[in-house]
Structure 1
Amino acid sequence: MSQATAVFGGGCFWCVEAIFSELSGVLEVIPGYSGGHVENPTYEQVCTDTTGHAEVVQVTYDPESISYEDLLRIFFSTHDPTTLNRQGEDVGTQYRSVIFYSSEEQRQSAERIKAEMAPLWDDPIVTEIVPLERFYPSEDYHWDYFRRNPQSGYCSMVIAPKVAKFRREFSQRLKAR
């Protein structure tokens, strides 16, 4: 089985991780930080909105089972790529919509799929497409957060409805349960 990685930021990494973890062909999803100027940032530092990092997920997937382009389409369909530095009530540059590419092929695909998805939105897409310089995994307690904490307020009020909508819209793409 071949493996590839993609790095996306679409608001709170708990939400993005919950979505991508359910996809068939996705092998692992790690929440973390990318795009900033502080080495080995902590969650507390990133939350100050002063490190330049975005909350992101690193998605390891089997490109023979799911393509990078399909991951991009799901990314653009499961968050609001038209709001600058926010997703819902989560506000700050750490919640920006961003694709970190690790090759010219990924960059070109991201630009192409961004243009393809633009007509689906009333406002212009503000998603950044920038080179991946470094990915820092988050602290362990963020990993698989939604699955481990389904009754927490944020999970039940924000993530659960988003995941339910995703499951309805992308049922053919989900892992067998």
Structure 2
Amino acid sequence: MNTRYISYCSNIFFLIGLFMLSASCAQTKSNDTATVSEVINPGNAISDTATFAAGCFWCVEEQFKQLEGVTAVVSGYTGGHVKNPTYQQVTTGRTGHAEACNIIYDPSQITYDELLAAFFVAHDPTQLNRQGADIGTQYRSAIFYHNDEQKKLAHYYIKQLDDEGAYDKKIVTAVSPSQVFYKAENYHQNYYANNTSEPYCQLVIKPKLEKFRKVFKEKLKEE
């Protein structure tokens, strides 16, 4: 990730309004209850779901947990052809599934636009079927949209970032309709928080998390 991109993403929240005006696609709630994943909270707040794949879901989960307005992050598998896959099956790269996260969020506190900005900061979307040393289709970059609005915004931001020359290479992120999402085994949930001292957490997740927190320092939950 080059310095030009970090600078661009540091200000991306301020550019969202301009992006939305030029794209003519204001953030709205879809009425298609068959495709939109919603959770009605006790306080009558309505939550939406964003589904992203951006490499190892341990990294993605911990990064998105930091954001104000994100109420839950669930690690799992989606996009493949095997029903009820196990982690061992997915790691072979033969199930078609990607390691992904369902991001449950309150749209009154954080928008899908802002989550897309976070998605593109959280990983390198120009790497095909890998993130760093994690190699295979299970680590692909993908956005699984839940409605037409999410689909339009995903394609729009990809075009904007490519047009800006944010990366030295073109973005390879796949944009696909959401499919059945299989929750990963319990030991994958809150992985970083429960295994902070492990080498992968210290050498891979922690540096990504620190960079992510610097870029989105104005959008972090209060500690």
TM-score class, shorter-chain normalisation, is over 0.9
Which stretch of structure 1 is more off in the superposition, 113-122 or 60-69? 113-122
Give the match for residue 150 of structure 1: 196
Shift of 1:133: 1.5
Question: Is 1:73–1:117's contact at 8 Å kept on the other side of the alignment?
Answer: no
Bigger radius of gyration: 2
2:168 corresponds to which letter in structure 1?
Answer: D
Q: Distance in 2 between matches of 1:48 and 1:88?
A: 17
**For residues 24-56 of structure 1, what are the alpha-carbon distances to aligned partners after superposition, in whole Å with 9 as ceiling and x for unaligned?**
000000000000000010000000100000000
> Is 2:181 the counterpart of 1:135?
yes
Q: State the partner residue of 1:83.
A: 127
**Corresponding residue of 1:36:** 80
Give TM-score scaled by structure 2 length: 0.78
Structure 2: distance between partners of 1:172 and 1:81? 23
Percent identity, please. Answer: 50
2-structure distance, mates of 1:82, 1:45: 26
> How far apart in 2 are the matches of 1:176 and 1:150?
20
- Count of residues in correspondence between the two structures: 177
Give how far 1:117 is off: 2.1
Q: Which runs of 5+ in 2 are unaligned?
A: 1-44
Give the distance between the partners of 1:56 and 1:140, measured in 2 at CA.
15
TM-score (norm 1): 0.98
CA distance in 2, matches of 1:145, 1:116: 33
Structural mapping, 1:8-157, within 5 Å:
8-118=52-162, 119-157=165-203
**How big is each residue's C-alpha offset from its partner over 1:115-167, in whole Å with a ceiling of 9 and x where there is no partner?**
12222111000000000121110000000000111110100000000001111
- Could you say what the CA RMSD is over the residues aligned between the two structures, in angstroms? 0.6
Q: Which runs of 5+ in 1 are unaligned?
A: none
